[in-house]
Amino acid sequence: MDTKAKILLVEDDFNLGAVTKKRLEEAGFFVEHCIDGDTAWKEFQRTMYDICLLDVVMPKKDGFTLAQLIRRKNDFVPILFLTSKSLDEDKITGFKHGADDYVTKPFSMQELLYRIEVFLKRTRPLNADKKAIYKLGNLIFDYGELKIVNPDAKKKVKILTQKEADLLKFLCENANKTLKREEILYHVWGKDDYFLGRSMDVFITKIRKNFPAESPVKLETLHGIGFKFHMPKDELPQDFNLNEYIASLQENESTE
C-alpha cells in the first residue's frame, strides 16, 4: 500500500493484542492497540481510522457498545469483531450493532489479513473507484456518487446505498462471467456466511429492479452456481460528465 492504513485494534488480552499488533505492523499497517472500550472510544474520536478490530468481552465498554458509538460517529469505517462467541445469536447481535464482519478466535493471521484487505479495497478513497462510471444499456451508473441515472424514468436520478453500489460495481467489473455465490460474498461482504447470503439475495433483488425485461442488461441466476451479469460492452466517451448529462435531461424535460 502507498499509504499505511490505520487500524484501531481493541483487545483486552494484552499478549494476544501485542502479537496481533506486531503481525499487522509487519504487514505494513499502522496499529493503535487499546485494552478497554473507554480508551478505544476516546482514541477513535481523536484519530481517523480505516478499519476497527474489536473484541466483544472487554472492561468498561464491551465491543457491542463500542461499535454502536463508532457507528453514530462514522457510517463508513469497517468494523470487524474478534470474538470467541460463535453462536448465531451473537453474530446477529454484532451485525445489529453495526459490525461488517467477525473473525472467531482462535483465528489465523492470514485469514485476518485477507479480511482486512477485502474491506480496505472497498472502503479506502481510491481515485479509480471514485471515477468508476459504467454505461448499462440506457442507464448510467456512477459508483463514486452512488447514482444510477435513467433518462426514461420520471425520477431521473436514483441514489443507491453503499452496499448496493459495491455489489453493482463488482458485477460490472466481472460482466459476462459466471460468478459463484461465495465469490460475490467474499469480495463484496468479506465472507461466505448463511446470514450474509440471505442479505445478498435481498440486494440482488434490488439491483434487478433497475433493469426492465427489455433492457440488454440482465442479472441471470444460475441455479446451484451463482449469477451472471449480462452487460453490453458499450463505453462512455472519455470526456463524459455526469452532472452535465443530468442537467441536459432535466432541461429537455422542462421544455417538453
Residue range 71-112, pLDDT digits in tens: 888 777 888 888 776 656 666 766 776 677 888 788 888 888
113's torsion region: left (phi>0), alpha (psi -120 to 50) or beta? Answer: alpha
Q: Which helix (H) or strand (E) holds 10?
A: strand 6-10
1 — pLDDT class (breaks 50, 70, 90) = very low
Which three cell numbers mark 122? 472497498
Q: Can you give the residue ranges of every domain in the chain?
A: 6-123, 129-255
Q: What is the DSSP string of 144-185?
A: TTTEEE-TTSSS-EEEPPHHHHHHHHHHHHTTTSEEEHHHHI
The span from the CA of 25 to the CA of 10, in Å, is: 15
- pLDDT exceeds 70 at position 200: yes
Q: Which helix (H) or strand (E) holds 34?
A: strand 30-34
The span from the CA of 197 to the CA of 91, in Å, is: 14
Cis peptide bond prior to 106, omega within 30° of 0 = yes
pLDDT tens digits, 25-68? 988 899 999 999 899 999 988 887 889 999 888 888 888 889 88
Q: Is-same-fold flag (6-123; 129-255)? A: no
For 6-123, CATH number?
3.40.50.2300
Nearest CA to 63 out of 50, 49, 44, 46 is that of: 44
122 — pLDDT class (breaks 50, 70, 90) = low
What architecture (CATH level 2) is domain 129-255? Answer: Orthogonal Bundle (1.10)
